[in-house]
Amino acid sequence: MSVDDLSARRQEIRTHYDQTAAEAICESSTTITYAGFQQLLEQADQQNRKAGGTDYDLAELYFFLECGEEQVNLSPLAYHAFNLNRDDYGFLGEVTLKIVWMSMGYLDTRDPDYNRSFMDIVNRVLAYARKKESATEIEMYEALLEEIRGFREDYVAAVDECRLSSQ
């Protein structure tokens, strides 16, 4: 998609998706527990339906919505790139893994307003962590990149399998 197409799609989603539901989606990207994450997604879906809003894919919502000042006016996906979810043991949390998996089609897409992608942010944070010699952050972001490599392989295999089964 071109920058103009991305901007138009963002405007469409902002216009046709219920604002209260959008706030729940934004909040879900900051949630610690997977149960809380799931609850907020369900709450957003119910609120949007109740308000008569247009239904959108979660990947689109995470990429195109813009969250408020608490999240530096970034999309939930971009905000999450800066603030990965960790489990009780310090490893990548289920929320991060779910957000990344469902957003596979948007990880390399540059935000039309900020001209950077989720992967640009991840690589930038990792470079900064290396510069500051922050072992915890280095380990976390390297683990994320490894997960993304695996997800991409799985994603390609799933798409190929769908193509073969539809022929």
Domain boundaries, the chain: 3-165
Mean pLDDT within 37-63? 93
Report the alpha-carbon distance of residue 15 to residue 19 in Å, rounded: 9
Q: What is the pLDDT of residue 128?
A: 96
**Beta bridge partners of residue 92, listed in sequence order:** 86
Mean pLDDT within 62-76? 83
pTM of the model: 0.85
Q: Under a CB-based contact definition with an 8 Å cutoff, are residues 129 and 122 in contact?
A: no
How far does the chain reach from its first CA to its final CA, in angstroms?
Answer: 27
Convert the pLDDT of each residue in 104-142 to its tens digit.
999 999 998 889 999 999 999 999 999 999 998 999 999
Q: How many other β-carbons are positioned within 10 Å of the β-carbon of residue 116?
A: 15
- C-alpha pair distances (Å), 149 with each of 117, 142, 155: 16, 11, 10
Mean pLDDT within 82-108? 88
Q: How many other β-carbons are positioned within 10 Å of the β-carbon of residue 160?
A: 10
